[in-house]
Copies of this chain bind each other. A is one copy, B any other.
Amino acid sequence: MKIALLVAYDGTDFHGFARQKHARTVQGELESRLSLLLRAPVETVGAGRTDAGVHAAGQVVSFDVSREIDPAWVQMRLNKLLAPEVVVRTAAKVPDDFSARFSATRRAYEYRLYRSPVPDPFRDRFALWVPGPLSLSKMRAAARALIGEHDFSSFCRLPEPDVSLVRNVHDARWVDLGDGLLRFDIEAGAFCHQMVRSLVGTMVDIGRGRKRAGDMAAIIRATDRAAASQPAPPHGLCLWEVVY
């Protein structure tokens, strides 16, 4: 049978989601605990390969098991071992042909930033501190230019030859949550590596007046990494939802 987990994690102390031989990763932790629980090696598939320091509220992880087990038991046992840093929010049996990665049709990310005269120890783990003036209306204008099908090469790390970086962005918007907190929501079929962080880095530069909102379309058209700003730091980013 196949099981899918809806997983949330605080990515601060992980070297990203994807398993690595010599580093602590979310997938590595999940697989080692699952293998112990099920007394057999377990290989998982994740919906999104979040980078080091990136969080998730709605990562999806699927894996095969050779016998019938209760998904609620898996959830309960994993949470006893890994919560609150990694939390299985729900666990369910899924069809055998389901893949957390390849069955996904859309992914939604959120990037949070907060504005205040000095940093805030209670917000800083999951949001980027941005001091000084910032124009939300200019960042909103720039976000509108992202919607639709574009080649996002300007915002992708390590593009490989012959691999398309055309992505279809269904939605991209800045939400003012009040009390100085801003959230960037973006939804697309898939994302290139570091795409959201590079977009946010560029939009924050636009909000600060270092670039103009009207530049966003030209930066996309340039298909040149040097045209965009440096990626925003990972700790403001969260894989919010995966749609199937």
Which residues of A are in contact with B by a Cβ distance under 8 Å? 8-10, 55, 57, 75, 79, 83-89, 118-122, 124-126, 129
9 A-B contacts, Cβ less than 8 Å apart? A8-B120, A9-B121, A55-B121, A55-B122, A79-B119, A84-B124, A84-B129, A85-B121, A122-B126
Closest residue of chain B to A126, judged by CB?
Answer: B122
Q: Is the CB of A10 within 8 A of B84?
A: no
Closest residue of chain B to A129, judged by CB?
Answer: B84
| A84–B126 alpha-carbon span in the complex (Å) | 12
CB distance from A232 to the nearest CB of B (A): 16
Closest residue of chain B to A9, judged by CB?
Answer: B121
Q: List, in ascending order, chain B residues with CB within 8 A of A88's CB.
A: 118
| A119–B75 alpha-carbon span in the complex (Å) | 12
Closest residue of chain B to A86, judged by CB?
Answer: B121
Contact of A10 among B9, B85, B122 (CB under 8 A): B122
CB distance from A113 to the nearest CB of B (A): 13
CB distance from A233 to the nearest CB of B (A): 12
CB distance from A214 to the nearest CB of B (A): 34
Q: List, in ascending order, chain B residues with CB within 8 A of A119's CB.
A: 79, 83-84, 87
Q: Is the CB of B8 within 8 A of A87?
A: no
Closest 6 CB pairs of A and B: A84-B124, A84-B119, A10-B121, A83-B119, A84-B121, A87-B119
| A79–B120 alpha-carbon span in the complex (Å) | 11
Q: List, in ascending order, chain B residues with CB within 8 A of A84's CB.
A: 119-121, 124, 129
Q: List, in ascending order, chain B residues with CB within 8 A of A118's CB.
A: 75, 79, 83, 87-89
| Most chain B beta-carbon contacts within 10 A, residue among A55, A83, A88, A121 | A121
Closest residue of chain B to A56, judged by CB?
Answer: B121
Q: List, in ascending order, chain B residues with CB within 8 A of A57's CB.
A: 122
A8/B55 contact (C-beta < 8 A), A84-B129, A129-B84 known: no
Q: A84-B129, A85-B121, A87-B118 given. 11 additional CB < 8 A pairs?
A: A8-B120, A10-B125, A55-B122, A57-B122, A84-B120, A86-B121, A87-B119, A87-B120, A87-B121, A89-B118, A122-B126
Q: List, in ascending order, chain B residues with CB within 8 A of A55's CB.
A: 121-122
Closest residue of chain B to A85, judged by CB?
Answer: B121
| A190–B8 alpha-carbon span in the complex (Å) | 39
